Amino acid sequence: MRATYQHCCLKYVTNEKMTNQSLRSRFGIEERNAATASRIIGDTLNEGLVKNDDPNTNSKKYAKYIPFWA
């Protein structure tokens, strides 16, 4: 979760947002194992380290995340 949070922070300071795809790329997770990245993001969300960029959307497929302090 700490690495996920740090990845999210790095993305944020470069004017980007963390996505499932960006996390898979960073961790070297194959696309067929996208559920693993989703689980990691979910755990990090539950810990309050990241938050959904647009809390009004229910789409998990196109979700983007930002650090909790942003």
pLDDT, tens digit, 9 for 90 and up, residues 1-13:
999 999 999 999 9
Residue 16: CB atoms within 10 Å? 13
Distance between alpha carbon 23 and the CA centroid of its chain, in Å? Answer: 6
From residue 22, give the alpha-carbon distance in Å to each of 7, 8, 45.
9, 9, 16
The pTM for the full model equals 0.90
Q: Is the model more confident about 12 or about 58?
A: 12
DSSP bridge partners of 66: 51
Q: Is the model more confident about 55 or about 26?
A: 26
For the chain, how many structural domains are there in total?
1
Tokens encoding 39: 């689980």
Residue span of the structural domain in which 59 resides: 2-67
